[in-house]
Chain A
Amino acid sequence: EIVMTQSPATLSVSPGERATLSCRASQSVSSNLAWYQQKLGQAPRLLIYDASTRATGIPARFSGSGSGTEFTLTISSLQSEDFAVYYCQQYNKWPPLTFGGGTKVEIK
């Protein structure tokens, strides 16, 4: 099973600032990585797939990078609606499909 590790667990950021979230895989997942945003009480929403491709309707301030075992989600200028929990997920080798433990982005 591929273990996904996200850091930090909590990120405190002021509105308008940049946020950088990390995701590490226990073995290479190539570029087969997705990012999701989950707001309180809501279902997750796909942001990024194939490590760097934005999903339909996702603002350009969200960008993904990386390959192999190290990945980054960057939110260039945080808006109030971006405060949420973010998860990474690998789909390179499965079953099982596996998620990271999440990073909570909170208001500083």
Chain B
Amino acid sequence: QVQLVESGGGVVQPGGSLRLSCAASEFTFSTYGMHWVRQAPGKGLEWVAFIQYDGINKYYADSVKGRFTISRDNSKNTLYLQMNSLRGGDTAVYYCAKRGMAATGTSWFDPWGQGTLVIVSS
């Protein structure tokens, strides 16, 4: 069964940095695009970033562009999200999610990890 396990969340001051990790198992990680999605407390879902299976193409939400960087290490089956210049509005549970299928045009999210909470506060 596909498993995604996030880590790296915590409390950080405004302007600070944090790196999230997502360990993947039970599927061929190197053939799937991967996403980060976040959810502020009591709010809905917001897509954050996507990285193609080979790491070449990356896309970001406007709200994080220039501050967040998505990356992956296919040799370690791990996805990352480097978050810099953090703001209060970045406070959320961050989920990693696998692209629905390996083929293009299948950008739904399945499955999701359990999430890791990031709190930006002084």
Contact = CB atoms under 8 A, between A and B. Distances in A.
A62 interface: no
Interface residues of B, number: 23
A102 B44 contact: yes
Interface residues of A, number: 22
For B62, B108, B111, which residue has the most chain A Cβ atoms within 10 angstroms? B108
Interface in B50-90: 50, 59-62
Given A36-B109, A46-B109, A95 B115 contact: no
12 contacts: A42-B114, A43-B111, A43-B112, A44-B109, A45-B112, A89-B45, A91-B107, A91-B108, A94-B107, A99-B44, A99-B45, A102-B44
Interface of B: 35, 44-47, 50, 59-62, 95, 100, 105-115
